[in-house]
Amino acid sequence: MNTTNKNWFLKGLRDGIPISLGYLAVSFTLGIAAKNAGFTPFQAMLTSLTNNASAGQFAGFTLVAAGAGYLELAVMELVANARYLLMSCAMSQKLAPSTPLLHRLLISFDVTDEIFGVSISVPGKLNPFYTYGLIAIAAPGWSLGTYLGVLMGNMLPAGIVRALSVGLYGMFLAVIIPPARKSRVLSAVILISMASSFAFTKLPVISGLSTGTRTILLTVLIAAGAAVLFPVKEEA
């Protein structure tokens, strides 16, 4: 590893600490869902280690608990995780075009909301080692939290579990709000997104769609609308 890569990796480790702690708390509640679906602590940890997908895993555990078929599970994962397709598209633009295939394959392992959000916020092109640093500290938090959640989820008082369940949303807000402070357009886009998301849970027919499908629909509609009305000026 040359010095530049090493420095980026270390910076990633540092910036990944809050992600890891947040993951530890959030995946703890995920572990409780896994336990209800009949997973052992090891199986739940393995799921977290290989999936790294909050909503996808929640949806998966629910289906497994209901004894769903493999195909059904595959389709569910496709829908619940389709937003990562969009994130990976955005991430592909953050990498230098010369980035080798191996790096692309490795980064693909852990494009999560948080790791994507933090990786995309570095100025200029992304050095893959920064993302590796983030993953190296965040992924163990995610797996360990899931493991502990299965092991002792039911021992924690319900008040603490409920409190932990908003942790993930806190992290989302910490990713989207600060840039919005500097941009009225972005503030408006976020407000409209939240309002439409609320409307989509109330409207007939649409409210019957799965959460994942509604998320994709809204993302495509609103991001496309914003792109037409307020194209982003290139950074110098």
| 150-189 residues near other proteins, rule: CB under 8 A | 158-160, 162-181, 186, 189
Q: Which residues contact 59 (CB under 8 A, 6 or more apart)?
A: 76, 77, 80, 212
- Tell which residue, 146, 170, 135, 174, has the closest CA to residue 61: 146
Which of residues 151, 197, 206, 213 is near other proteins by CB under 8 A? 197
230 in contact with other proteins (CB under 8 A): yes
134 in contact with other proteins (CB under 8 A): no
Using the minimum distance from each CB to other proteins, give the nearer residue, 3 or 157. 157
Using the minimum distance from each CB to other proteins, give the nearer residue, 31 or 83. 83
CB of 3 to other proteins, least distance (A): 26
Which of residues 95, 122, 152, 206 is near other proteins by CB under 8 A? 95
Q: Interior CA angle at 160 toward 156 and 166, to 5°?
A: 130
Structure tokens at 83: 């937003």
Separation of alpha carbons 187 and 16, rounded Å? 26
HSE (side-chain half, CA atoms, 13 Å) at 7:
4
Using the minimum distance from each CB to other proteins, give the nearer residue, 6 or 96. 96
13 in contact with other proteins (CB under 8 A): no
81 in contact with other proteins (CB under 8 A): yes
207 in contact with other proteins (CB under 8 A): no
89 in contact with other proteins (CB under 8 A): yes
Task: For residue 141, count CB atoms less than 10 angstroms from its CB and return exposed for 0-12, middle for 13-18, buried for 19 or more.
Answer: buried
Region from 3-11, 143-151, 190-198 binding other proteins, contact rule CB under 8 A: 190-198
**Treating both helix axes as pointing N-terminal to C-terminal, what angle do 54-65 and 3-36 enclose, rounded to 10 degrees?**
30
Where in 23-52 is the site for other proteins (CB under 8 A)?
25, 38-39, 43, 46-47, 50-52
Using the minimum distance from each CB to other proteins, give the nearer residue, 117 or 152. 117
**Treating both helix axes as pointing N-terminal to C-terminal, what angle do 70-94 and 211-229 enclose, rounded to 10 degrees?**
20
- Cα separation values, 99 from 9, 104, 128, 142, Å: 16, 7, 8, 27
Under rule CB under 8 A, how many of the chain's residues touch other proteins? 102
203 in contact with other proteins (CB under 8 A): no
Which of residues 14, 17, 154, 184 is near other proteins by CB under 8 A? 17
- Cβ neighbours, 10 Å, residue 12: 26
